[in-house]
Amino acid sequence: MADWHRFNVRGDGVELAAFSYGLPGETTPGKPVVLLVHGWPDSHHLWDLVAPQLAEHYRVYAYDTRGFGESDRPAQVAAYRLDTLAADMFAVARAVNSAGKTHIVAHDWGSVQAWETVTTEGADDAIASFTSVSGPNLDFLGEWARGKLANPTPSNIAQALSQVASSAYTAFFQVPVASDAFFRAFGSDKVWTEFLHFIEGTPRENATFGPTLRDDMINGLKLYRANIRGKLASPKPRPTRVPVLEIVNDHDIALRPAIYERTHTHAANLWRKRTTTGHWLPYTNPDYLATTAIEFIDAIENGASGTPNTIDRAHVTGPAGDLIGKLAVVTGAGSGIGRETAYALADLGAEVVLADIDLAAAEATATDCKGKGVLATAYRLDVSNTGAVTEFADQVRNLHGVADIVVNNAGIALAGSALAATDEQVDRLFDINLRGVISGSRAFGRQMVERGAGGHIVNLASAAAFTPSRDLGLYSSSKAGVLMFSESLRAELAEHKIGVTAICPGIVHTNITSNAQFAGAADEDATREKVDGFYAKRNFTPDRVAADIVAAIRKNKAVVPVTPEAEVGYRVYRFFPWASRIGARHKLAD
């Protein structure tokens, strides 16, 4: 167990067991004070792996909320109303920091209680900041649900039903005899450890419970019975001026990300970080949670985040895009699909880091992205240089943080005879198209795995990867390598909740065709002009590919054929490969 030292605090009519991490005399006066608040069915031991990291920077305290752990356990359901729990939190905050403001980090029902606290009048005089993990404001949630039902569009109904399905267990929790008996039978440390491991991969050794777990499970059900029906039936949302960081977990078993979409209408100072993590973040990803909380608290204390821009990009000033708080890296961002993808990611609120061998082109894209109200930075990068790619990934991590999304888009075209191509042309093609993708995926993928908060890698393949052609043998080989590498990497990284997508466009008009080389062509310029003209007439623009890239990230798709001819070619090659082989004999420039 962690180095907790108990003392008592008088709450609203109950004795609360409070704890300092380390003896109070061991902490340095003047450091910011952080108060950790657990949810159901936990106790202060929820924070055993987070508190030591926070204690390197702050004076750290926690407490068992009423009904849990070593605190008093009122028998009446009414004793667990949120206004009473908020009074408890204020009492503990005053006890641990009577002369200053306290930073709150709270999870699950602890976060629900903290929302009640920070929306209480005068809260900004006592609370310096609030980091919310997997626990909404119930008044905000009730308002959100009523708004969806009042405007029953297919999207709104789908979002409401998704949350109803995720919250179905709360109906069972309202039934005292049945739910109490269930947890009396199955509420053991071993069962709960295996549940967390099965649901979201929580390392078994991270699940640190106190000796009161079964009793906490049963008694803590009073939180649900005292608050949910009343709050959702008659929400009374109140504003807060306390700075709030919402950590939104895409894989939260109980709470869908959509329910947070209107928080900004009540929280005047709101930041949001969204990752492919699960509900029990303090157990499953304690390092990520501690790092994120430290960055936010430092930003509030010092006016600047510990790691440049990681918190700055998460600031919510209006209706937030799906990717606000995320960092996206795009190679080949100076034109075509790379540029349009940068625009699409910026439109959704992501900070974008843009790389291209043509720095001026990347800077132009960055300027346009800044006009959309996001942070954007351009770098020169030759993806054929593996060492340069690794250095670039390290530079991004040091200056911007670990990327959440990486789009390995940079590529070139080489058409014509495989026999006529020079060795230099072949080396350059594979160094850029295949090795560049592998290098980018490896460098950024390692960082994502180390962080432990998921991510997504998008690799640009091509319909040529599964459409053989006598004139595209070398190009097709490079893209087929990208496709198979992406499928294999997806399998490797799945356990880390890192998605990998291979995007396979067909005939898309970009400057890749106007710059393509045609090995063995009698008149290369004329051939290039003819092919480029055909692509121009096809008029499938790169912004449409970018839209499919964003959709693939959202839905974590494995392989995405983009154009109609790519869709057809993908299926023909899978089910009628002989037809693909016959078609491969057709000359590209005919």
Q: What DSSP string runs through 50-65?
A: THHHHTTTSEEEEEPP
Residues in CB range of 257: below 8 A, 6 or more apart: 248, 249, 250, 274
Identify whether 260 is a catalytic site residue: no
371's tokens: 């006009």
pLDDT, tens only, 29-63: 679 999 999 999 999 999 999 999 999 999 999 99
d(CA 386, CA 439): 6
pLDDT at 75: 93
Average pLDDT over residues 511-527: 62
pLDDT at 178: 94
CATH number for 327-583 (one of 3.40.50.720, 3.30.429.10, 3.20.20.150, 3.40.50.300): it is 3.40.50.720
Average pLDDT over residues 5-28: 84
pLDDT at 305: 47
pLDDT, tens only, 171-203: 999 998 999 999 999 989 999 999 999 998 899
pLDDT at 202: 92
State percent of the chain over pLDDT 70: 91
SS3 of residue 448 by DSSP: helix
Which of the pair, 308 or 251, is modelled with greater confidence? 251
User: Is the previous residue joined to 468 through a cis bond, with omega within 30 degrees of 0?
Assistant: no
Which helix (DSSP H) or strand (DSSP E) does residue 278 occupy?
A: strand 270-278
Indicate where the chain has its CATH 3.40.50.1820 domain(s). 4-316
**pTM, two decimal places:** 0.85
Backbone angles phi, psi at 276, to 5 degrees: -85, 60
pLDDT at residue 531 tops 60: no
Indicate where the chain has its CATH 3.40.50.720 domain(s). 327-583
The catalytic residue among 260, 283, 288, 475 is 475
Where helices occur in 234-303 by DSSP H, the ranges are 281-284, 286-302
Report yes or no: 185 and 174 within 8 Å, Cβ to Cβ: no
d(CA 191, CA 187): 7
4-316 CATH fold: Rossmann fold (3.40.50)
Identify the CA nearest to 217 among candidates 2, 43, 72, 19: 43
d(CA 423, CA 428): 9
pLDDT at residue 150 tops 70: yes
77's tokens: 């359901």
d(CA 528, CA 158): 49
pLDDT, tens only, 239-284: 999 999 999 998 899 999 999 988 999 999 999 998 888 999 999 9
Confidence of residue 513 (pLDDT cuts 50, 70, 90): low
Confidence of residue 522 (pLDDT cuts 50, 70, 90): low
pLDDT, tens only, 501-510: 999 997 765 6
SS3 of residue 329 by DSSP: strand
